[in-house]
Structure 1
Amino acid sequence: MATLEEPIEIGGVRIPNRLYRAPLLECAGNGPDAVETLIDDLEPAAASGVGLIFQGATIVRADGGCAAPGMTRVHDPAFVSRLSRLTDRIHDHGGRIFVQLEHGGLRSMETWHAEHRRENPDLEQLAVSRPPWQLRVLDRIGALSYDPHVLSTDEVYDLAADFGRSAAYAVEAGYDGVHLSGANMGIVQQFCSPFYNRRDDEFGGSPEARLEFLALVHDEIRDRAGDVALTTKVPAETPAPPPPLVNRTLSLEDGVEMARRLERIGYDAVVPVLASVVWDMSIVRGEYPDRAWENEALREGYDAAFGGPLRRRLVALGNRLESVAYDFEPAWNQEFCRRVRERVSIPVLAEGGVRERETIDRLLDPNETDGANASGPACDMVGMARPFYAEPRLGARLLEPEEPDARVICESCNNCTVPQVTGAPGICRTPGVLRRRGELERKGAYDRG
């Protein structure tokens, strides 16, 4: 039986244990304090013993492509070289760090952020294909604003080269691996998804062709960054709106087959995740964040982002409805991960709704059963995201052998996530959770022996 404390290799990189901090929005930007902000956000996890740190989505181009304010860009080698201070700090604690590369495509702020559009009227909305009719309807009623530039074949090659260049800069700065944001409705998922991808060149049409962008990005990274550990998220679009609203999506079996092809292409690990075709709470399941929406200090930022008080209220209403549709479910990606792991030989990483050590042990257990039949482990590593907002040094508790029943204090209330549309940092804002963290700190729960 693999245990959380056992080491594992991904693409030749030895990781000291099987716990990872999943990608989050650090909101560090690229200003003079960016590196210090990233160190403040990420080092505590490594100091607490977490084996692998994923730096959250970083953008591969100088302009556009950010899904939220304050995302860091890694297109500039001079800036990325400064991130060696971050990678050194992670390595000092014995941890490893991968950078997540991203471009938002039609999820970018150029589409949804009202103030950003006004201040940057010349920024193009990059699209894989003409937006589906469902999104065009949202444009007509004023819910979103689409004026997309559909990438030509040559421009697809240029975008893949940007991923490769950014990966090379990151490796030079000491990152141990590269992780592609292949889900959460970013441009990589848009290439893979039949909902978005209606291209008629080599990057569209068949399921194999829709995966060609990831194959091209793989080749660009290998050519420019060498034999770096390379991982990606793999989406299954099962949480998407039901027919007839959406008919063409990636099924669970499509996701399994994608993972198999990615292994053949040369990816070193995959992270299977259930993802919608629209930006909703399927990736952050849990409670309606009433505290965040009622925060008067954030109201002006919400109005700037969504285009005024009326739209803010409509978005909040949508958020409330989604919290009912996507109520919290423990380890909600586990079945997808297990099905992928049965078909590939590379490591499978599981995240989403993991909240206690018991769940971690079950996901890693080769004797785990599905009904009457032994079905084997669901994954090879287990990650958490939002719980690290609540407990930056969470690893010390989860990796403590004398606390086998450890459970995170995060309540999945989402009061940490919604404020990020204003550029606010990703931090826990729930008083009860913060009080509990203070109690644990006073007891020395985050001190490593």
Structure 2
Amino acid sequence: MTTPRLEDPVDVGGFTLRNRLYRAPLLECAGNGADAPEILASELEPAAKAGAGLVCQGATIVRENGGCAAPGMTRVSDPTFVDSLRTVTDRIHAHGSAIAIQLEHGGLRSMETWHAEYRREHPTLRQLAVSRPPRLLRLLDALGFLDYDAHVLTTEEVYELAADFGRSASMAVDAGYDVVHIAGANMGIVHQFLSPFYNRRDDEFADGVRFLEVVADEIRAHAGDVPLMTKVPAETAAPPGLRPHLTEDDAVDICRRLADYGYDALVPVSGSVFWDASIVRGSFPARAWRDERYREGYADAFGGPVRARLVELGNRIEAAWYDFDPAWNASLCRRVREKVAVPVFCEGGIRERGEIDNLLGDACDAVGMARPFYAEPELPARLLGPDVSGDTRVVCESCNNCAVPQVTGASGVCQTPSVLRRAGAHRKEGSYTRTTEIGTGDDDDPVG
């Protein structure tokens, strides 16, 4: 078979994406205010205008209360609000791109666990839990670093939560979203169902894949045959000796089962059992921690200046442990692709066109990037096209200065001067101009 190129279309559940480059889910920090549709559109539209085949709206919460893993996350439980998101989908479609919505609930990872100010403002809000929190997390609760008042879901309540995913999917599809993406990793509640570290149930959902099957049933019942994809975690970055956890073999088997059940695309990812730097590997974000604009917000989030410094120290240790590793999910994706007949999407540390070309047709069928879009919202214009050099590289340095301030509610933007200078140079050179070769047949379409 001919090796696919980045510019080639790919079919996902009967829906054709115009090429194999996608903007992976990020935090848009749009919230649910009257300006949320415009914030989301302004965040997502540049990627579509620059030629991305698929643009993923970051994790959106399926319930009205609780479940947000970070400040400013958008909820998709109110029909009137979701209908207003037609503004977003219309603007993406105007450029020939497809748009996915990633549905999420944070469970034990929610702000009611870790964000001190949010806990004070919502004293009666309890975390949803698959099982009683693991012993290690209960220890952190006893030490005051976390705050658990978890409600373990009954079997009936698990079905109700799955139904919320279905209802949110239905509203999103009615508003013009083309693909439903389940947030199955990064320690959200779906990940917690899948992980033996969290899931110690004694009902049918002791098999965590069963939850994703019921979610699929609910989405099909409410939203029809919309293309459905999910992330699938392997906890291979778990601290040494930590048991039990999801092995790579486990993740491959989960992917096989989900493909057989009707999921249309899979995104295998490796990380830890914790919400830590394993999901954003790179340098320690010293600039972000020193920035006086966020110092008070860090203290509010983590329970005071001293605790914020302790979190900073932990972040420094994690950054050393989870150093940047190019295309760190490639080997897992390759194993999954050998076992399933649906497209496998690969993301995580992919930074160069030549690297992308080597992955396509081998480890995966499509390639996504996340943090690089904070520095280059119009990045696809530089990566797509028949004459793009294999050494064309994103300007992102994986320094994570964009990520840490988001715990204060700050928007996700690149904050590293050297990176911004390179992006500015590309803009002056016209590198973010989309041509008809990567677009929809329009005349040259300058971005930004």
TM-score (norm 2): 0.96
Verify: 1:79 aligned to 2:81, yes or no.
yes
Q: Alignment partner for residue 305 of structure 1, among 301, 304, 314?
A: 301
1:71-120 deviation per Cα after TM superposition (whole angstroms, max 9, x unaligned): 00000110010111111111110000010000000000010000000000
Structure 1: unaligned runs, 5 residues or longer:
366-376
Q: Alignment partner for residue 388 of structure 1, among 373, 392, 404?
A: 373
Instruction: Give 1:403 shift.
Output: 2.6
Verify: 1:434 aligned to 2:420, yes or no.
yes
Rounded to whole Å, the distance in 2 between the matches of 1:400 and 1:69 is 37
Verify: 1:265 aligned to 2:267, yes or no.
no
Rounded to whole Å, the distance in 2 between the matches of 1:136 and 1:84 is 42
Q: Quick one: percent identity of the two aligned structures?
A: 66
The residue aligned with 1:215 is: 213
Instruction: Give 1:275 shift.
Output: 1.9
- Map residues 223-234 of structure 1 onto 2, 5 A cutoff: 223-234=221-232
The residue aligned with 1:416 is: 402
* Partner AA of 2:215 in structure 1: V
* Partner AA of 2:238 in structure 1: A
Runs of 4 or more, structure 1, over 6 Å off, are none
The residue aligned with 1:369 is: none
Task: Judge conservation of contact 1:114–1:307 (CA < 8 Å) in 2.
Answer: yes
Verify: 1:354 aligned to 2:347, yes or no.
no
Task: Judge conservation of contact 1:238–1:252 (CA < 8 Å) in 2.
Answer: yes
Instruction: Give 1:3 shift.
Output: 0.5
Rounded to whole Å, the distance in 2 between the matches of 1:241 and 1:62 is 34
TM-score (norm 1): 0.96
* Partner AA of 2:307 in structure 1: R
Task: Judge conservation of contact 2:23–2:55 (CA < 8 Å) in 1.
Answer: yes
1:332-390 deviation per Cα after TM superposition (whole angstroms, max 9, x unaligned): 0000000000000000000000000011000014xxxxxxxxxxx00000000000000
* Partner AA of 1:24 in structure 2: L
Instruction: Give 1:145 shift.
Output: 1.1
Task: Judge conservation of contact 2:379–2:432 (CA < 8 Å) in 1.
Answer: yes
Rounded to whole Å, the distance in 2 between the matches of 1:297 and 1:54 is 29
Task: Judge conservation of contact 2:105–2:189 (CA < 8 Å) in 1.
Answer: yes
Q: Alignment partner for residue 203 of structure 2, among 183, 201, 204?
A: 201
* Partner AA of 2:376 in structure 1: E
- Local SS of the residue matching 2:267: strand
The residue aligned with 1:370 is: none
Verify: 1:286 aligned to 2:282, yes or no.
yes
Instruction: Give 1:142 shift.
Output: 1.3
Rounded to whole Å, the distance in 1 between the matches of 2:188 and 2:271 is 11
The residue aligned with 1:398 is: 383
Rounded to whole Å, the distance in 2 between the matches of 1:400 and 1:111 is 45
1:243-278 deviation per Cα after TM superposition (whole angstroms, max 9, x unaligned): 1xx210000000000000001111001000002111
The residue aligned with 2:138 is: 136
Rounded to whole Å, the distance in 1 between the matches of 2:127 and 2:54 is 33
Rounded to whole Å, the distance in 2 between the matches of 1:348 and 1:403 is 24
- Map residues 84-123 of structure 1 onto 2, 5 A cutoff: 84-123=86-125
Q: Which moved more, 1:403-412 or 1:413-422?
A: 403-412
Rounded to whole Å, the distance in 2 between the matches of 1:434 and 1:261 is 43
1:197-223 deviation per Cα after TM superposition (whole angstroms, max 9, x unaligned): 00001101xxxx221100000000000
* Partner AA of 1:111 in structure 2: T
Rounded to whole Å, the distance in 1 between the matches of 2:418 and 2:350 is 20
- Local SS of the residue matching 2:357: helix
Instruction: Give 1:122 shift.
Output: 1.3
Task: Judge conservation of contact 2:238–2:272 (CA < 8 Å) in 1.
Answer: yes
Instruction: Give 1:448 shift.
Output: 1.3
Rounded to whole Å, the distance in 1 between the matches of 2:143 and 2:81 is 41
Q: Which moved more, 1:354-363 or 1:141-150?
A: 141-150
Rounded to whole Å, the distance in 2 between the matches of 1:95 and 1:15 is 7
* Partner AA of 1:165 in structure 2: R
- Local SS of the residue matching 2:434: coil
The residue aligned with 1:314 is: 310
- Local SS of the residue matching 2:386: coil
* Partner AA of 1:397 in structure 2: R
Instruction: Give 1:147 shift.
Output: 1.3
Task: Judge conservation of contact 2:100–2:181 (CA < 8 Å) in 1.
Answer: yes
Task: Judge conservation of contact 1:185–1:275 (CA < 8 Å) in 2.
Answer: no
- Local SS of the residue matching 1:67: coil
Task: Judge conservation of contact 1:8–1:16 (CA < 8 Å) in 2.
Answer: yes
The residue aligned with 2:176 is: 174
Rounded to whole Å, the distance in 2 between the matches of 1:278 and 1:236 is 12
Task: Judge conservation of contact 2:7–2:385 (CA < 8 Å) in 1.
Answer: no
The residue aligned with 1:16 is: 18
Instruction: Give 1:143 shift.
Output: 1.5
Structure 2: unaligned runs, 5 residues or longer:
436-448
Instruction: Give 1:67 shift.
Output: 0.3
Rounded to whole Å, the distance in 1 between the matches of 2:188 and 2:227 is 21
The residue aligned with 2:443 is: none
- Local SS of the residue matching 1:101: strand
* Partner AA of 1:307 in structure 2: G
* Partner AA of 1:222 in structure 2: R
The residue aligned with 1:65 is: 67
1:293-352 deviation per Cα after TM superposition (whole angstroms, max 9, x unaligned): 000110111000000001100000000000000000000000000000000000000000
Rounded to whole Å, the distance in 1 between the matches of 2:98 and 2:11 is 11
Instruction: Give 1:32 shift.
Output: 1.2
Instruction: Give 1:402 shift.
Output: 2.5
Task: Judge conservation of contact 1:16–1:95 (CA < 8 Å) in 2.
Answer: yes
1:167-211 deviation per Cα after TM superposition (whole angstroms, max 9, x unaligned): 00000000001000000000000000000000001101xxxx221
- Local SS of the residue matching 1:203: helix
Rounded to whole Å, the distance in 1 between the matches of 2:387 and 2:427 is 17
